[in-house]
Structure 1
Amino acid sequence: MRDAVPGAGPTPAPGTVYFDSVGVREAHDVVNRFYHPMSLGVPDSGDAKVGVEVIQLGPLTVGHLTFAGRVTLVAREMDAYHVTLPVTGQVLARRNGREVIAGPATAVAFRPGDPVYLRPEGPSAEIDVRIERWALESELTALLGHPIDGPIDLPPAFDLTNGPAHSWSRLIRLLHDELEHETSLVFQPLIGEHLCNSVLSGLLLSVPHRYHEELVAPATAGPPRAIRRVLDAINEEPDRAFTVADLAGIAGTSVRSLQEGFRRHLGCTPMAYLQQTRLARAHETLRGANPAGLTVAAVANRWGFAHLGRFASAYRARFGVSPSETLRRSA
């Protein structure tokens, strides 16, 4: 998508929307469009202003909201998972009767079915993360290797000052920081998908819930037969946009068991093996190509490499020459 209000800053990059210092009515429209059916109110007299920047990566929405003046955000029932990370100032959150006053050291979370009450104390800024219910629950199912009984019981609030949750919050801020860069790698579908999966799995590993202990326990290695199925799938279609969850599904194991099986039997991760297979196919293609009729970029794209510079770097590390040198020598 490409949306903006006139005169509202830089031209937005694909997958982003910018709204700069708009009134409550306009902010209500964008929050309802990208987040949840929600009402925005202004308890104090005077005009409140809201700034909004949003990036969407499939089932993941990350937005940066700024508030000048007090605004309340109320939803009767949440239809997805939602995490608010205050950046400056404070926000009063209420979930099922429990009140939390959160600042930059604390995140607040809501689950599908939860009523929502948020009152940012302006001037303030926050990052709001929406994750579609099916996506987070499917990610947990893939990681565990068995169905779950949802919704996932995310805590009402969690500490962002240390541990995995601190790392997760930095990943969220990275996505926000990439908003203004139209050529950012996050807009490459392959990179964006991996980042989205990292945000989902990172949240599941960072906060307490009833599956957390099972999730962080040492994984059992997948059996050789399961690993062989994955190897066959990769070798048959190395250009296919596999995710690690896709490969775990082929193996019939959890993601963690697949990763442990690859580590034990092959000494690498499934995605590293996939990259090496793609590099080998690209090498074969370049060696047998006619330089007049084929480009390095076309070969990189053919074998699933979204970023030409990263492809060239990985290729040189593997074969000791650049892709263009291999192509020239094939003449």
Structure 2
Amino acid sequence: MESLVFDSDDLQVTEEFLSHAYARMTIGSSRPGAGRAKVRRDTMPSVSIDELDLDFDMSYSVNPLGKICLCLMRDGTIEDHVFQGVRDTFGPGDLVSFAPPDLPYAGRVCSARYNITMLDPALLDQVAATDASSPLQPVRLTGHRPHSEAAARRLGSTITYLRDHVLADPTIAGEPLIASTSGQLLAASVLATFPNTARTDPSAQDRTDAHSATVRRAVAYIDDHADQPVTVAEIAAAAHVTVRALQYAFRRHLDTTPLARLREVRLAHAHRELRAKAADDTTVAAVAARWGFHHPGRFATLYRAAYGVGPSDTLRG
């Protein structure tokens, strides 16, 4: 995981930094003597979360970033945001997608404090798929505004959670399994928030493919790869079915989901490691993180439900 912190009241230095960190921008102070910029960026594979506090006005013109770029407004406004003929203005509380990853956009920030979350579009393909008639087409967002205020709040909470409980701790964010599950969590939350091309209902072929052999192949893949970053799309490929068929098969035969099964297997590995007490300095938090559990309280709850005791009790013997 990497972090970047910037703090300056020199508009020229700020313009150079923002143009390098994001895209070409032109800054003009909105008030005499005002012009302070504070930026913090935390990153993990395929995801970055930035907090920006800009005490001035600036225009921006951004070439295609190749990233899904989400903006969560806290204070101030972003005005005349334009992409592909669409023009909009954003204020406090708004959560939007700036533009499709392959399109340029432009606008003006007016003394604003906001969050920018960027993620690799391929993450959407790891948790969903398009219609079977065009299986090679990537999943895309088709609207820049959330389909409901409730969905926007849930995505905002997910972003805040990842910022405060995953990226805030380099040890946690540096664990490969946590980076993988966090990226998939964010992607699933984005798809649940914005209109998109993902197909969630199983087709007739998906229902035909959702047999017990599919589940056996998928479970075998999960068991063999639980110690590695694993996506739903990879499990589906190993089972030779679509993501929708895989999810339908798990619901039909096991009354669970592929990722829930993966979590159970990883929990079992964590249980064995805690019992083994591999080293004198073994800690519950370290074992949990190594197996993809980034929230100690949530890990303890899952562990107690599965084994009847807390993880600390197992570690102490």
1:42 matched to 2:31? no
1:79 matched to 2:79? no
Amino acid at match of 1:233: Y
Once the two structures are overlaid, the 10-residue window that deviates more, 25-34 or 191-200, is 25-34
Q: Is the Cα contact below 8 Å between 2:142 and 2:195 reproduced in 1?
A: yes
Q: CA 1:324–1:277 in 2, change beyond 3 Å: closer, same or farther? A: same
Task: Return the match for 1:64 from 48, 51, 70.
Answer: 51
Tell me, in whole angstroms, the C-alpha distance in 2 between the residues paired with 1:38 and 1:296.
48
Once the two structures are overlaid, the 10-residue window that deviates more, 174-183 or 76-85, is 174-183
User: Between Structure 1 and Structure 2, how many residues are aligned?
Assistant: 307
Task: Return the match for 2:150 from 163, 188, 194.
Answer: 163
Q: CA 1:170–1:230 in 2, change beyond 3 Å: closer, same or farther? A: same
Q: Is the Cα contact below 8 Å between 2:5 and 2:39 reproduced in 1?
A: yes
1:115 matched to 2:104? yes
Task: Return the match for 1:250 from 229, 238, 241.
Answer: 238
1:129 matched to 2:102? no
The residue correspondences of 1:89-238 to structure 2 (distance < 5 A) are 89-92=76-79, 93-106=81-94, 107-122=96-111, 124-136=112-124, 138-139=125-126, 142=129, 147-149=135-137, 152=140, 154-155=142-143, 157-159=144-146, 162-178=149-165, 181-182=168-169, 185-209=172-196, 211-212=197-198, 214-215=199-200, 217=201, 220=206, 222-238=210-226
Q: Percent identity?
A: 23
- How far did residue 294 of structure 1 move? 7.1
In structure 2, the partner of 1:4 is: none
Amino acid at match of 1:113: D
Amino acid at match of 2:10: G
In structure 1, the partner of 2:256 is: 268
Give the alignment's Cα RMSD to 1 decimal: 3.7
Tell me, in whole angstroms, the C-alpha distance in 1 between the residues paired with 2:289 and 2:309.
20
Tell me, in whole angstroms, the C-alpha distance in 1 between the residues paired with 2:31 and 2:107.
18
- How far did residue 87 of structure 1 move? 1.4
- How far did residue 72 of structure 1 move? 1.2
Which blocks of at least 5 consecutive residues in structure 1 are unaligned?
1-13
Q: Secondary structure at the match of 2:98?
A: strand
Tell me, in whole angstroms, the C-alpha distance in 2 between the residues paired with 1:253 and 1:30.
46
Q: Secondary structure at the match of 1:19?
A: strand
Q: Is the Cα contact below 8 Å between 2:48 and 2:118 reproduced in 1?
A: yes
In structure 2, the partner of 1:259 is: 247
Post-superposition Cα deviations, 1:273-319, rounded to whole Å, max 9, x if no partner, equal 233334445556676x5x69677559947983556956555444323
Once the two structures are overlaid, the 10-residue window that deviates more, 228-237 or 22-31, is 22-31
In structure 2, the partner of 1:51 is: 38
Q: CA 1:183–1:258 in 2, change beyond 3 Å: closer, same or farther? A: same
Amino acid at match of 1:230: A
1:240 matched to 2:228? yes
Tell me, in whole angstroms, the C-alpha distance in 1 between the residues paired with 2:268 and 2:83.
53
In structure 2, the partner of 1:88 is: 75
TM value normalised by structure 1: 0.74
Q: CA 1:161–1:88 in 2, change beyond 3 Å: closer, same or farther? A: farther
Tell me, in whole angstroms, the C-alpha distance in 2 between the residues paired with 1:129 and 1:141.
20
Tell me, in whole angstroms, the C-alpha distance in 1 between the residues paired with 2:146 and 2:265.
41
